Structure 1
Amino acid sequence: MRLISVSTLLLLLSGSGLALQIQCYQCEEMTHDCSTPDFVVNCTVNVQDMCQKEVLVKDDGVHYRKSCASSGACLISSSGYQQFCTGRLNSVCITCCNTPLCNGPRHKKRPPSSKSAAAAAAALPLAALPVGALLWSWLW
């Protein structure tokens, strides 16, 4: 009975579509990086599972094209344009990613300070404990 309860809970969580839907930035031929909340869209569930970003270098500057994409189409497009991704005039770079809003601007990664890394490491097991204990109690 407990196993059925856990299975039902997991099915409801996964069946809600939240785990299978990704959000991406979407814009066409913008001359600025359109990575603001105004350009966030929900991609089609179970169809568009990646975000795509195209960066085109033209005479009048850098243009951005961002969208949701299916993994197959995005990977084919990006591999076909690798030779044109030079960063110079008439360059076209297409990248694919599969995490929410990953087709936005790149953020510089800073090494974590020793205090924040230690605090995060200590907090992780405590945060996971209630969920693990709840699931364990349902199973046994």
Structure 2
Amino acid sequence: MRLFSVSTLLLFFSSSGLALQIQCYQCEEMTHDCSTPDFIVNCTVNVQDMCQTEVLVKDDGTHYRKSCASSGACLIASSGYQQFCTGKLNSVCITCCNTPLCNGPRQKKPKSCAAAVTLGALWLHASVLLSSVLC
């Protein structure tokens, strides 16, 4: 059995099209949303597969932290801070997403569309469960 170095494997994945790299906005403790081209970074290939956003409400206003993150670390952090995400003073909200530049400015969606997507996802999930039981 032959051992490959990390750089060899990364080169293989990159040349085979299997490398996963996204771009995210990145900033530290900004008092305005840093979703501008100046703050776009390339995340580490096959390691940082999510974008993370932290919104902190402090005495002097709302502060933003945005960065690349690994899915495990981001999901653990976001679930650990759910109880502190109140929108009030000293609130901390952490969100994760996995598409390019998804931690940028919020897109407003019509509520009926969001409800339809949620119902569609539930229907798909129920269909998959049902087919796995029947087959």
TM-score by length of 1: 0.66
Q: Which runs of 5+ in 2 are unaligned?
A: 1-13, 112-135
1:92 and 2:95 are equivalent in the alignment: no
- Paired letter, 2:73: A
Take 1:97 and 1:12, find their aligned partners in 2: how far apart are those partners? Answer: 26
- Paired letter, 1:106: R
- Residues 22-71 of structure 1: CA deviation (Å, up to 9, x unaligned): 00000000000000000000000000000000000000000000000000
Take 1:87 and 1:34, find their aligned partners in 2: how far apart are those partners? Answer: 19
Report the equivalent of 1:35.
35
Report the equivalent of 2:48.
48
Report the equivalent of 2:17.
14
| Cα offset, 1:109, TM superposition | 3.0
Report the equivalent of 1:59.
59
Report the equivalent of 1:73.
73
Q: Secondary structure at the match of 1:45?
A: coil
Q: Secondary structure at the match of 1:55?
A: strand
Take 2:109 and 2:81, find their aligned partners in 1: how far apart are those partners? Answer: 27
TM-score by length of 2: 0.69
- Residues 4-35 of structure 1: CA deviation (Å, up to 9, x unaligned): xxxxxxx95614x3xx1000000000000000
Q: Secondary structure at the match of 2:17?
A: helix
CA RMSD of aligned residues (A): 1.7
- Runs (4 or more) in structure 1 with deviation over 2 Å come to none
| Cα offset, 1:110, TM superposition | 5.8
- Residues 82-127 of structure 1: CA deviation (Å, up to 9, x unaligned): 000000000000000000000111112369xxxxxxxxxxxxxxxx
Report the equivalent of 2:125.
none
Report the equivalent of 2:4.
none
Report the equivalent of 2:107.
107
